[in-house]
Amino acid sequence: MNKENNPDFALFSEHLDGIRPLNQDKHHFKQSVKTKQQVEIKEQQVYADSYFSDNYQPLLPVEGPMRWLNDGVEKIELKRLRRGDYQPDLLLDLHGMRQAEAKLELAALIQACVKQHVICCCVMHGYGSGILKQQLPMWLAQHPKVKAFHQATKEWGADAALLVLIDIGEHPHRR
């Protein structure tokens, strides 16, 4: 059918008389600028995902208090943790957190320890259903900055917490 003979086309053309096209002056497809907090959260997620696997099964003790020592670290360090020679400067309370949240917080704690030159920290996982109590040692054993961990003394939470010894690099150690 011909455009000139079509009554609908004529009516449409009549309505469009005097209309001019709009100028496109905005770009709608730019990526939005992320805030510093959003960038830090994404960094922490990538950091946590790169170190902590839920499938890794380190050799951990079945009996006695929960403890672990990284290769190349002297056994006396584990004994010092057990005796309470190291006082934790940073505390992390994981009560009420899900596994994903706990993993991010643990990664952030280790980063904070390295940044602030803190060699010992305490992670309180609580009793609860035991999921965090079971997963936490597995995650800690995977991280390269963790030298050792041991079940906390009574003053720091007993078997509902772990004392963690962190490798802060070439900085002088504090006790």
Alpha helices in 31-74 (DSSP H): 36-51
Whole-number pLDDT of residue 18: 84
For 72-124, give the DSSP string.
TS-HHHHHHHHHT-SPPSEEEE-TT--HHHHHHHHHHHHHHHHHHT--EEEEE
Token representation of residue 123: 């992670």
**pLDDT by 10s per residue, the chain, length 175:** 566 678 888 888 888 888 888 887 776 676 777 788 888 777 777 766 667 777 777 777 778 788 888 888 899 988 888 888 889 999 999 988 888 888 888 988 998 898 899 999 999 988 878 788 888 988 999 888 899 999 988 888 888 899 999 988 776 555 4
What does the alpha-carbon distance between residue 78 and residue 91 come to, in Å, rounded to a whole number? Answer: 19
* pLDDT for the residue numbered 175: 47
- State pTM to two decimals: 0.67
